[in-house]
Chain A
């Protein structure tokens, strides 16, 4: 298996632009998680899905952030409009079921100028 796939690996954009991050979970995994990691705040859970349904989005910082999971093999995290303070590494992880490890993707390093 290829593992969790994220794209792009690096994104540099200007303040005000829309940013879309993409994730392909491991086939057969039922849960998908989006995290943000910064030096200031560490690893933060933004939102997670189970069987493509959002379960908890209380970690999403603002209305500028939205996430979708249209099918079991694809999810997006969108920031519109982006701001410099959104600069971070965004990780996607998937898990086959509860009480099981989460498998992390390589992350997307986002820089908003």
Chain B
């Protein structure tokens, strides 16, 4: 029979291009946000985080932007490389114990 699964958003880019992955979060009270990268066969890996008192944070080749007004988070990857191909998840901290709520993920494919 036909299999039904999540239809993840996909983004295909050429090597060297910049990539932008977007995420909408649900809880206006969330004060901490994380982007994770998951490669095939591995667990999610931390990329970058941002707290709600900031609207931008930069890392190495990555930038996270936070717009609390519209509850939107984005991840920008500069000069995307084939090794950046993975599923990217945004996550928001929703309680005082560190519980995270994850987005459904976006598949990034980088073509050489």
Genuine A/B complex: yes
Flag if B6 contacts A42 (CB, 8 Å).
yes
Flag if B6 contacts A40 (CB, 8 Å).
yes
Report how far A56 CA is from B101 CA in the complex, Å.
Answer: 13
Q: Which residues of A contact B4 (CB under 8 A)?
A: 40
Contact residue among A56, A91, A101 (Cβ-Cβ distance under 8 Å from B34): A101
Contact residue among B34, B43, B95, B104 (Cβ-Cβ distance under 8 Å from A107): B43
Q: A40-B6, A42-B6, A42-B102 are in contact. Are A31 and B97 (CB under 8 A)?
A: yes
Flag if A98 contacts B95 (CB, 8 Å).
yes
Contact residue among A38, A55, A103 (Cβ-Cβ distance under 8 Å from B97): A55
A5 to chain B, nearest CB (A): 11
Contact with A along B71-97 (1 / 0, CB 8 A): 000000000000000000100010111
A30 to chain B, nearest CB (A): 8
Contact residue among B3, B49, B105 (Cβ-Cβ distance under 8 Å from A101): B49
Report how far A95 CA is from B101 CA in the complex, Å.
Answer: 14
Interface size band for B: 20 to 34
Report how far A88 CA is from B19 CA in the complex, Å.
Answer: 30
Flag if B43 contacts A99 (CB, 8 Å).
no
Q: Which residues of A contact B59 (CB under 8 A)?
A: none
Contact with A along B5-44 (1 / 0, CB 8 A): 1100000000000000000000000011010100000111
Report how far A66 CA is from B44 CA in the complex, Å.
Answer: 23
A49 and chain B: residue at smallest CB distance: B97
A residues adjacent to B (C-beta < 8 A) = 4, 31, 33, 38-43, 45, 48, 50, 55-56, 91, 93, 95, 97-107
What are 10 inter-chain pairs, A to B, with CB distance below 8 A? A4-B43, A42-B102, A42-B104, A45-B101, A91-B44, A93-B43, A97-B98, A98-B97, A99-B32, A104-B36
Across chains A and B, which 4 residue pairs bring their CB atoms closest together, nearest first?
A: A104-B43, A39-B5, A95-B98, A98-B98
